[in-house]
Structure 1
């Protein structure tokens, strides 16, 4: 597969967390987003309770992997087969979400996905869902913080609604302190009912652009993309009702008893554009060690590469950096980057990236870009 195709690789997001922490609540919430088109792989299918109307129009059916926890199976080809099938360009998915068993180890799962089909999909993050009320009694029970934090890119402290309002922020802070003892770069956010802003972890609607067509048909089962491909099922009218219900729910900030229910705030984003050749080394210095609060970054940069001007596409999630050769674009800028996160210093991040993008840095750092391209080729 060409590098251009690899630039459109579908992000695979791993949902991990102890039993009952709220993984399925988060998955349902993401599926209800009016613009999202998500593939689903479920390890513990018996616990999944998704309204059939939400699944139809998103994917033909969720993939179910049985026989034990994914990371404990002797043969992981079932997971790779599922991801490969869902990553077909014709499906135009924004993301693939793997809901793992409550016993799954994030580090093992992350390694499994990382060594699989780089061109079709890549690891788009590991979200560990934490029960704010039970985490210390079920998961974080030792003197040292759990090793699972080392592989996680985002910790979601869920079920804050079950705590008195005065205890919610201290609960998130306490878990953040423990997490940062193991992994100081990890983003920790609090929420209830899994109501996380999807734009923090993927781009709703990006699948249409990745597929090269603004139309967004539902997922079919055909193997090819040609005239003989299996017909693709149209979205059901219920999808329009779901869009409306989601929009209404997003505005709702109180439960049925009138009590204040914490809702995750919208993700922050900063977009920087520039003319001329970027300083590839300076850009990578920032992306390889994202500023505090920044969870992911995306975009493309124009650099001087062996006497020629070349464009490279960039996708970054936590510590994971993906670089690919990018096609020329008809834009009024040469380089552009978008950074997304929560509670970060926008002015400081903007200033750093503006310097890096307009640095006219010659060929400095280009070999590092090429290294990433070779790594994921």
Structure 2
């Protein structure tokens, strides 16, 4: 059986530079990639790279492929997986470009709730391209802030159009909205391509960013909320599990991403938590290098800060 297809979701504001990023990736490939876009004609690929094309697919001389979704995402993914198994498409990674107003949530859920997709695809990273020059205006739109909240990588594009002091403030603002994301400032979406991948499953660098967080609560647009909770007292495993289930039941699809490093009372090792919507996973990740504590980040819509904090406090181990 073939290994699952490594998949990266690329989202971002209208005009932020998603298409420019795609062109950069296919022009500087570190591996053979397939691009899945709404229409292949919307990606302005250098004609010198095109080997052959039709209305559904463009094949490039460097081995990369650009495909059209042509309707339903699930059907497009199944079609691509079938062609790959048959040897009709040869590639190492699939990149999916969303429209500028797309909600990443339903797209991510396709990879968890559709067994035929989950068996054949593995999410590698979620990249959001952010327009540094128009950031404050864009943050007034809920869909844009939601895209920031879902990301593992924030590609902060057009930084050449803002003063250095403003750039520092923008990065600080993004760090509050998504405390664990890897922020990469860029011009014309030029970036080391390898830095964009393998970020979805809690790499060490993200763990280090999370451990540096302090308690905070941030709002943006009408209802976007980002909550960071730190707790130095160990948690009871069963009580925390019950609290987490209550949070998931209360918010369901309105809980975009949540991540954490948990100090349980019954072990000296770190427990890693990450999830989106109702789907989450945990794993043991070695010993605490520094002071033992729990750090949790919840990103979603209209989260009740006090209720979630109270729940975590109720999970503290006593006696």
TM-score normalised per structure 1: 0.46
Instruction: Describe the shift of the 1:122–1:22 C-alpha distance in structure 2 as closer, same or farther (beyond 3 A).
Output: same
CA contact (8 A) 2:30 2:194 kept: no
Other-structure match for 2:228? none
Unmatched runs of 5 consecutive residues or more in structure 2: 50-58, 212-256, 260-284, 288-319
Distance in 2 of aligned mates of 1:190 and 1:66: 33
RMSD: 3.9
Pairwise CA distance, 1:170: 3.4
Task: Answer yes or no: is 1:84 the counterpart of 2:81.
Answer: yes
Instruction: Describe the shift of the 1:156–1:82 C-alpha distance in structure 2 as closer, same or farther (beyond 3 A).
Output: farther
Deviations 1:162-221 (A, max 9, x none): 33xxx14632x3333333333311111100111111111238xxxxxxxxxxxxxxxxxx
Task: Answer yes or no: is 1:290 the counterpart of 2:207.
Answer: yes
Other-structure match for 2:61? 57
Other-structure match for 1:170? 166
Other-structure match for 1:27? 22
Other-structure match for 2:298? none
Deviations 1:251-298 (A, max 9, x none): xxxxxxxxxxxxxxxxxxxxxxxxxxxxxxxxx99869622299xxxx
Deviations 1:53-108 (A, max 9, x none): 434235575221245xxxxxxx4433323442465485552311111111111222
The aligned runs of 1:142-181 (5 Å cut-off) are 146-163=145-162, 167-168=163-164, 170-171=166-167, 173-181=168-176
Other-structure match for 1:108? 106
| Alignment: residue pair count | 206
Deviations 1:271-329 (A, max 9, x none): xxxxxxxxxxxxx99869622299xxxxxxxxxxxxxxxxxxxxxxx989xxxxxxxxx
CA contact (8 A) 2:6 2:121 kept: yes
Q: Which has the higher strand share?
A: 2
Distance in 2 of aligned mates of 1:49 and 1:286: 33
CA contact (8 A) 1:13 1:125 kept: yes
Pick which of 152-161 and 54-63 moved more. 54-63
CA contact (8 A) 1:38 1:59 kept: yes
CA contact (8 A) 2:125 2:197 kept: no
Other-structure match for 1:136? 136
CA contact (8 A) 2:6 2:123 kept: yes
CA contact (8 A) 1:42 1:98 kept: yes
Q: Which has the higher contact order (CA 8 A, sep 6+)?
A: 1
Other-structure match for 1:126? 126
SS of corresponding position for 2:207: coil
Distance in 2 of aligned mates of 1:179 and 1:58: 35
CA contact (8 A) 2:8 2:125 kept: yes
Instruction: Describe the shift of the 1:86–1:183 C-alpha distance in structure 2 as closer, same or farther (beyond 3 A).
Output: farther
SS of corresponding position for 1:62: strand
CA contact (8 A) 1:40 1:98 kept: yes
Pairwise CA distance, 1:140: 0.4
Unmatched runs of 5 consecutive residues or more in structure 1: 68-74, 204-283, 295-317, 321-352, 357-377
The aligned runs of 1:191-202 (5 Å cut-off) are 191-202=186-197
CA contact (8 A) 2:103 2:143 kept: no
Pairwise CA distance, 1:46: 4.3
Instruction: Describe the shift of the 1:121–1:135 C-alpha distance in structure 2 as closer, same or farther (beyond 3 A).
Output: same
SS of corresponding position for 1:192: coil
